[in-house]
Amino acid sequence: SSKIRNMEVQSADGVAVLEDCIGFSLTKTISKVEEKLKKGVLPDCQDDDFIPRVGNEMGAEAQIRLLKAKLRVMQEDLANVVFECRKKDEENQNLETRLKDTEEENTKLQRTISLQQSQTEKYKKLSQEANKKNEALQQEVTALEKVLQ
């Protein structure tokens, strides 16, 4: 299990964790790896999935070219992901703005509805009072017509 832990630590070395990105320079990292390769200090990673099995038979220069090509592809992928993240952030900002505007409009409409409901109740009461008054006047007219006949 200690070998497995050491392998996990070794495989984690050189991986850009978000916290470690402050002051991280890809150029410096590549330069350090190239210096180690020039000195002949090759990392002992038999299970490295970056270099195919044929990579063991490749020369150091070919391995470097392969790794640089893979690095370029990964950098392009990273750039695409960053671009997509920025696009999504802008979209989120726009949606948040629209949501805020919609909530404000909803609040205004709720106030308008409340005002209109209170006015409707007021007019209903006035209508009921007018109907009662009308009925009373109709009864009075009927009574007066009887008196006149």
Indicate whether this model's pTM tops 0.75. Answer: no
Q: Return the domain boundaries, the chain.
A: 26-43+65-148
| d(C-alpha 41, C-alpha 36), whole Å | 5
Q: Which residues, other chains included, contact 14 with Cβ-Cβ below 8 Å and sequence gap of 6+? A: 29
pLDDT tens track for 15-38: 444 444 445 566 777 777 777 777
Sign of CA dihedral 133, 135, 139, 142: positive
pLDDT tens track for 101-137: 999 999 999 999 999 999 999 999 999 999 999 999 9
Name the maximum alpha-carbon separation found in the chain.
132
* 134: nearest Cα among 107, 112, 142: 142
